[in-house]
Amino acid sequence: MTHSTQGFSLLEVNMALLLLVMGLGGILATYQSLAMQVQYTNQQQQALLVFEQMYQVLPLHADQLQWLQAQGGSSSFVPNGHDFCQQGGVCDSSTMVAVWWQHWQQLITQQLPSGELSFTCDAVCKLGNKLHIQIRWHGPQSRRINCDVWHCITMEWPL
Amino acid sequence: MTACNVYKKSPASGYSLLETLLSLALASVLLLVGSFLVQAVSQRASWWITLSEMIMVRQAVMESISSLGKQVCQPGLMLGGVDSWRWHMDKNGSCQPYDIRFNVNKMQLQKRRAGGRYTGFIDAVSSPKVTYGVAHNNHCNPIRWLPSVSEQIALHVVILRLQFAVGIQAPSPLYDLPSTWWQEQQSDKSKPSWLWQPTEMFIRLPCVAAGVD
């Protein structure tokens, strides 16, 4: 048994390397998991804060929601007078709600990766069915995805 | 016997000097890489703690303001300024006037019952801006937003828009701050700086005209 004094066997070296790789892998996995958790919580809070604003503002403009829905609620609908309506100017209720909608769209685009704000509503929406207002964004993929490949939260209208 | 021959026989009696040096060098490199990794992870973890703290503080501040708003009773707002206002709040079943103000120096939101002393009830807020949503007579949907309102106009205010920043004390971050955040260094450099995140919330006031309350 002279070879024990000659160094480690191939098996011992491989086992040591395996342990090292497992340790580094564990550190990196924990790192990734924590990063995604914090990132996701932050993004979800941003989305919920926008919904909080909507919960307060939209009931005051309830009559205009169908009108807004008719505009498509898309980013292509940009009303004039954004600053005018928010800085003392008198605006009718339709313009006011459209200005808010645009404000929230901008907020979501800025704060959430590829964030979008949209209406989803079936064909009989105008007959009294629930209107869905949805915020969706691309976030950490390891989190449970609830809207296809997007993260999303949905609010039903009337509240 | 040459030196070379001596070297060739040495493996049977342990590691050569060359092997020992190479092993030490390899171990040093591994330790160095490991320490860099641990340092990077620990710095990143510290930044996540800061982020998480900001998330929790913002949540707590907004919930406190929101619960304050739920105590507002008719006739709602009495007077509104740039960073302070007076409104009616329910106190033990009776509706009483309260003053609310942002105290910029103390970074507090403070309140007082009419004639009393201001006391802080929310800390770590700054850069306040209050805007008032004013409705037509007998309507509840705002048609204009004003930076301050007189007693006459205050009666028609149906919603308050509060814009402010929520802050935490944290060491200077080594990473880029999120786009809307900013950092404020304290005059005493040994103290941690303040990190601020702007936020915005609305408080709906009681409105009888259209049955919204």
Beta bridge partners of B72: B89
Q: Nearest C-alpha of chain B: how many angstroms from A152?
A: 19
The beta strand positions in chain B, using DSSP E, are 72-80, 84-91, 94-103, 108-113, 119-122, 125-135, 142-146, 157-170, 182-184, 193-204
Q: pLDDT grade, residue A129 (50/70/90)?
A: low
pLDDT average, residue stretch A109-113: 89
Chain A within 8 Å of B156 (Cβ-Cβ)?
Answer: no
Q: What is the pTM of this model?
A: 0.80
pLDDT tens sequence across B55-77 = 999 999 999 999 999 999 988 99
* pLDDT above 50 for A54: yes
B chain contacts of residue A59, beta-carbon cutoff 8 Å: 204, 212
> What is the 3 state secondary structure string of B9-30?
HHHHHCCCHHHHHHHHHHHHHH
- Of the partner residues B30, B51, B142, the one whose CB lies closest to the CB of residue A60: B142
Provide the residue-wise pLDDT of chain B in tens; the chain has 213 residues.
Answer: 444 454 554 455 677 888 889 988 988 998 898 888 888 888 888 888 888 899 999 999 999 999 999 999 988 999 999 999 999 999 888 999 999 999 999 999 999 998 899 999 899 999 999 999 999 888 888 989 999 999 999 999 999 999 999 999 988 777 788 888 899 877 777 778 899 999 999 999 998 764 444
B chain contacts of residue A45, beta-carbon cutoff 8 Å: 55, 58-59
More confident residue, A107 or A63: A107
In A74-144, where does DSSP find H-type helix? 82-86, 93-111
Helix (H, G, I), strand (E, B) or coil at A157: strand
Pairing of strands B94-103, B84-91: antiparallel
Q: Which of B100, B82, B79, B205 is nearest to B151 (CA)?
A: B79
Least reliable range by pLDDT among A56-60, A110-114, B47-51, B183-187:
B183-187
pLDDT average, residue stretch A102-115: 89
Residue A75 CB neighbours (<10 A): 14
Residue entry with tokens 């103290």: B191
What ipTM score was computed for the predicted complex, to two decimals? Answer: 0.76
More confident residue, B127 or A86: B127
